[in-house]
Amino acid sequence: MPTLTIDSLREFWYKWRSSRALILFIVFVALFLDNMLLTTVVPIIPDYLYHLDNPKATFEDTYKFLAKNCSRPEIFRHRNYLNQHTDQLQDILRSYCNWTVAWAMNRTEIENDQRTTVLENENRWVGLMFASKAFVQLMTNPFIGPLTNRIGYTIPMFSGFVIMFISTMTFVFSKSFGLLFFARAIQGIGSACSSVSGLGMLADRYPNDEERGKAMGTALGGLALGVLVGPPFGGFMYQYVGKASPFLVLAALGLFDGLLQLSVLQPGVAGEPVEGASLKTLIKDPYILVAAGAISFGNVGIAMMEPSLPIWMMTTMRASEFQQ
């Protein structure tokens, strides 16, 4: 029976840290959390913004007061109206009061109409907020590639985790459009760091084309899983637990991934900088252009539905957050 020694533990630790499968798992989790955060907010933001701008008002006290007092004749018997037209005035006031009570008791329909109008005007703000992440990521991506050539993959990868964690915690405490917009925008920086450095790390660790293809497919499976799980998870937690709950869960999962990165990748500057192709050269490559075009067109439909579909379901179908 083998005995545990310091040397054997050290050897196991070294093999564990250098395991390609473990690095693949770290990248998988990073892409999963990035895209889960990306889609978790989709059913949350429209409803939350509505309640931020329109604190829920109730007509409960108003209609109860009117319903109670309209049946009391003394409400109409003020001394200023004791004249020959008292009966006619009393009938008019009673009719008006009854109409007011009916209007107040029908408040749900009125609130729904008002809600529809407000939500329809909210479309552009939700769209801008959702687009901020993609815009910032689009601006950041070209700088991350050359950065990884200079300092390696581990520091940008861990920086992506830190920024994503800050973004997630900002969502937890945000109570204004500005903070929500900021949280969504800085997610683009974290996403650029995690995706570019993570996929680059896999390409470096899997030099064989066949192995690299399988590794990339597995890692991008984390992206697809995050997009799949995010909306129902966010809607369910927001409806039944609260706005902060899904982001706290994501923050906890992010901490787990961050600890893995610290222990396995041990972020640090790489030994020698690598000279990479210029951006101008890459743009001229037809294969890169075809791949970029395919990715862009594949995401256009999703990007169009994210800000519009939940609001349409809220106004047309009266769908709950979980259903969205």
148-182 pLDDT, tens digit each: 888 888 899 999 999 999 999 999 998 888 999 99
Shortest CA distance to 204 belongs to which of 39, 27, 34, 9?
27
CA distances 57 to 35, 114, 156, Å, are 35, 12, 47
CA distances 233 to 173, 263, 281, Å, are 19, 29, 42
Query: Taking the model in full, what pTM does it have?
Result: 0.76
Mean pLDDT confidence for 107-122? 63
Q: What angle do CA 189, 196, 282 make, to 5 degrees?
A: 110
Q: Which two tokens stand for residue 199?
A: 């996929």
Cα–chain center distance at 176 = 15
CA distance 135 to 141: 10
DSSP letter string, 177-219: HHHHHHHHHHHHHHHHHHHHHHHHHHHHH--SHHHHHHHHHHH
Q: Which two tokens stand for residue 241?
A: 């637990």
What is the reported pLDDT for 218?
92
Tell me: the pLDDT tens digits for 252-303? 999 999 998 988 888 877 755 667 667 777 777 788 888 888 888 777 877 7
CB 250 within 8 A of CB 234: no
Tell me: the pLDDT tens digits for 45-63? 888 887 787 665 444 444 4
Instruction: Report domain extents, the chain.
Output: 18-57+123-317
Handedness of CA 125, 130, 132, 138 (dihedral sign): negative
Q: How confident is the model at residue 75 (pLDDT cuts 50, 70, 90)?
A: very low
What's 18-57+123-317's CATH class? Answer: mainly alpha
CA distance 181 to 177: 6
Shortest CA distance to 215 belongs to which of 233, 197, 203?
203
DSSP letter string, 119-184: HHHHHHHHHHHHHHHHHHHHHHHHHHHHHHHHH-SHHHHHHHHHHHHHHHHHHHH--SHHHHHHHH
